[in-house]
């Protein structure tokens, strides 16, 4: 069966995972995100005139203790982009 080129390829996404090291509450933390999310995070930090670490720190402080930080970052980015697009 031929694959639709427009479909998301999970295997490719796993290959695109990158580690992002930041200091949170004085501790070095490594976060795994797809490079596309890291690129958007950098652009949003620049737009907000802040650092990636500051954004991630605020996400970390607001998230439930049992949630995954990488997932919370993705959700924050999605909400931010939806708000900007006014959807």
Domains and CATH numbers, the chain: 12-85 (1.10.3990.20)
Band of residue 72 on the pLDDT scale cut at 50, 70, 90: very high
Lowest mean pLDDT among 13-17, 51-55, 59-63: 13-17
Spatial distance between the Cα atoms of 27 and 45, rounded to a whole number of angstroms: 21
Residue with tokens 């652009």: 43
Q: 11 or 4: whose pLDDT is higher?
A: 11
Could you tell me the pTM of the whole model? 0.80
What is each CA distance from 34 to 3, 25, 49, 68, 75, in whole angstroms? Answer: 22, 24, 23, 15, 13
The SS3 call for residue 17 is: strand
pLDDT digits (tens, 9 = 90+) for 21-53: 999 888 899 999 999 999 999 999 999 999 999
């Amino acid at each position: 069966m031929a694959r639709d080129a427009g479909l998301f390829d999970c295997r490719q996404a796993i290959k695109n995972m990158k580690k992002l090291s930041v200091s949170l509450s004085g501790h070095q933390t490594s976060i795994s995100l797809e490079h596309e999310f890291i690129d958007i995070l950098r652009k949003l930090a620049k737009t907000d005139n802040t650092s990636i670490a500051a954004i991630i720190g605020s996400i970390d402080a607001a998230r439930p203790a049992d949630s995954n930080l990488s997932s919370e970052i993705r959700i924050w980015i999605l909400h931010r982009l939806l708000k900007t697009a006014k959807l």
